[in-house]
């Protein structure tokens, strides 16, 4: 079934099944549920064309293929795939992962944040993810990043600051908190993204 891309005013896209307009609110229906945004946060909608998969010709029965053990997928590929699932630019999510942990699955911060995108155990639990599982860690971190971008109407600085220091700090200061660590973090992620060709 065809879906659509919701283009935020910041340029980010969120993949959705459909949307509804209700006064000044747009309801966006995704696989994760329903998100409400003010109409000003959305610049346009791009319809996706549905192409049915081609029907494969019948093949003669073959001997069962040998079982090949699964090859571990590298963190960069997992980040890329998670970004696509959440409708975010892969280079942007990769920039966050690089600054958070340098893409190391076994990275642990002094405060106890775990893995590639440095999830605190409590945050991972709220996202129903095992932070020690690299795929779940990256997927949950990417979903959190997308949800923060939606909450702050596509404001990248606020979303990154909230990812680093928590939504409470961003809400309290109504923007980038006056924490040197958070300010340096936001600048590093944006610079890394711009160097990768992002805008």
Contact in structure between 127 and 115 (CB atoms under 8 Å): no
Angle in degrees, 0-180, between the axes of helices 75-86 and 90-101, rounded to the nearest 10? 130
In angstroms, the CA 87 to CA 4 distance is 11
Name the residues annotated as catalytic: 100
Instruction: Give me the pLDDT at residue 42, please.
Output: 85
Higher pLDDT residue, 34 or 48?
34
Domain ranges of the chain: 4-47, 75-195
Instruction: Give me the pLDDT at residue 52, please.
Output: 58
Contact in structure between 65 and 158 (CB atoms under 8 Å): no
The third-level CATH classification (topology) of the domain covering 75-195 is Lysozyme (1.10.530)
Entry pTM: 0.67
CATH of domain 4-47: 2.30.30
Instruction: Give me the pLDDT at residue 99, please.
Output: 96
pLDDT reading at 98 higher than 70: yes
Instruction: Give me the pLDDT at residue 167, please.
Output: 95
How is 103-131 classified by DSSP, letter by letter? T-TT-B-TT--BTTTTB-HHHHHHTT--T
């Amino acid at each position: 079934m065809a879906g659509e891309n919701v283009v935020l005013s910041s340029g980010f896209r969120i993949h959705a099944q459909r949307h509804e307009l209700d006064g000044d609110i747009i309801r966006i229906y995704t696989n994760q549920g329903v998100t409400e945004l003010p109409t000003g946060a959305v610049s346009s909608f791009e319809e996706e064309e549905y192409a049915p998969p081609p029907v494969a010709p019948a093949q003669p029965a073959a001997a069962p293929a040998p079982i090949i053990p699964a090859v571990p997928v590298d963190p960069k590929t997992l980040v890329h795939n998670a970004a696509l699932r959440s409708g975010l630019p892969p280079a942007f999510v990769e920039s966050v992962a690089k600054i958070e942990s340098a893409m190391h699955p076994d990275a642990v911060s002094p405060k106890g944040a775990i893995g590639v995108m440095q999830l605190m155990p409590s945050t991972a639990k709220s996202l129903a993810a095992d932070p020690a599982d690299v795929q779940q860690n990256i997927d949950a971190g990417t979903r959190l990043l997308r949800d923060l971008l939606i909450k702050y109407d596509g404001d990248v600085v606020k979303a990154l600051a909230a990812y680093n220091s928590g939504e409470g700090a961003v809400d309290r200061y109504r923007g980038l908190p006056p924490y040197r660590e958070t300010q340096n973090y936001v600048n590093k992620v944006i610079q890394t993204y711009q160097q990768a060709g992002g805008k």
